[in-house]
Copies of this chain bind each other. A is one copy, B any other.
Amino acid sequence: MRRRQLRHAPVAVLLLAVISAGGAVGACARYGASLVWPTMPGTFPWTTWAVNTAGCAAIGVLMVLITDVRTVHPLVRPFLGTGVLGGFTTFSTYALDAQRLVDGGRTGLALAYLVLSVLAALGAVWAAAAAMRWFVARTRRVAGRRA
């Protein structure tokens, strides 16, 4: 047992390092977006909305890459999925944005933001995954014809 733990330790350390690096990149990218497109109080939080929608589209692409394309390195998913995209997208800022809109008397806008975020996220995952599946199938057909 001890020998097995020792053998697996570097893998766990590598995995945590990869997730840490991804989380750092994702959080900094989200912060960068909030600097470039700051949200004025009482207005629709477009930046968090766009960050979450883009992150959901990216995870749709990633999941198809991982499930349909077998040559993806095993550290790609923890780095990009758990790290970068998990760190880039946020639920805490989403809830806080909505809470602030309600506190400022903009309950209708808060509701629109809550619903539109979920709809855009689901639509983004679905559309990106479908587009990626089409692209992978097309690339394979072209490669099959050439072979």
Which A residues fall within an 8 A CB radius of B? 16, 19-28, 30-31, 34, 52, 55-56, 58-60, 63, 78, 81-83, 85-96, 98-99, 114, 117-118, 121-122, 124-126, 129
Q: Which of B58, B95, B124 contacts A122 (CB 8 A)?
A: B95
Q: Which of B25, B55, B91 contacts A121 (CB 8 A)?
A: B91
Residue of B nearest to A24 (CB): B20
- On whether the beta carbons of A82 and B30 are closer than 8 Å, the reply is yes
What is the distance, in angstroms, from A103's C-beta to the closest C-beta of chain B? Answer: 9
Q: Please name all residues of chain B whose beta carbon is closer than 8 Å to the beta carbon of A56 when the two chains form the complex.
A: 91-92, 95-96
What is the distance, in angstroms, from A99's C-beta to the closest C-beta of chain B? Answer: 5
9 tightest Cβ-Cβ pairs between the two chains A and B: A23-B27, A20-B24, A89-B91, A95-B121, A52-B91, A23-B23, A59-B92, A87-B87, A56-B95
- On whether the beta carbons of A87 and B28 are closer than 8 Å, the reply is no
* Besides the known contacts A56-B96, A59-B96, A118-B118, 19 further A-B residue pairs in the complex with CB atoms under 8 A apart: A16-B28, A19-B31, A20-B24, A20-B25, A20-B27, A23-B26, A27-B86, A31-B78, A31-B82, A52-B91, A55-B92, A59-B92, A60-B99, A63-B96, A81-B93, A85-B90, A95-B122, A95-B124, A114-B122
